[in-house]
Amino acid sequence: MMKISKIREMSSPDLEKELGELKTELFKLKFSLATNGLDNPMKIKEVKRDIAKINTVLTERKIEETKKA
């Protein structure tokens, strides 16, 4: 699970890349859960939370850019 402070330190392009990787991981986790089960089903919840954290930080940055313009 990623810390919000670590996420805030990353640049926006890095966050976009990480978001894509997490979405791919979430897809794979859901697929393996449906086909043969997972050792740790809580991993899906953790990945979803990380995606939400990244989306929150990206949205905050967009709002800041809008305010400056």
Higher pLDDT, 65 or 69: 65
pLDDT at 68: 86
Q: What's the CA gap between 39 and 30, in Å, rounded?
A: 12
- Which domains does the chain show, CATH number per domain? 4-68 (1.10.287.310)
The per-residue pLDDT for range 33-68, each reduced to its tens digit, is 999 888 898 999 999 999 999 999 999 999 999 998
Q: What is the pLDDT of residues 11-37, one digit of tens each?
A: 999 999 999 999 999 999 999 999 988
pLDDT for 38 equals 86
Closest CA to 65 of 26, 15, 12: 12
Q: Is 41 helix (H, G, I), strand (E, B) or coil?
A: coil
pLDDT at 37: 86
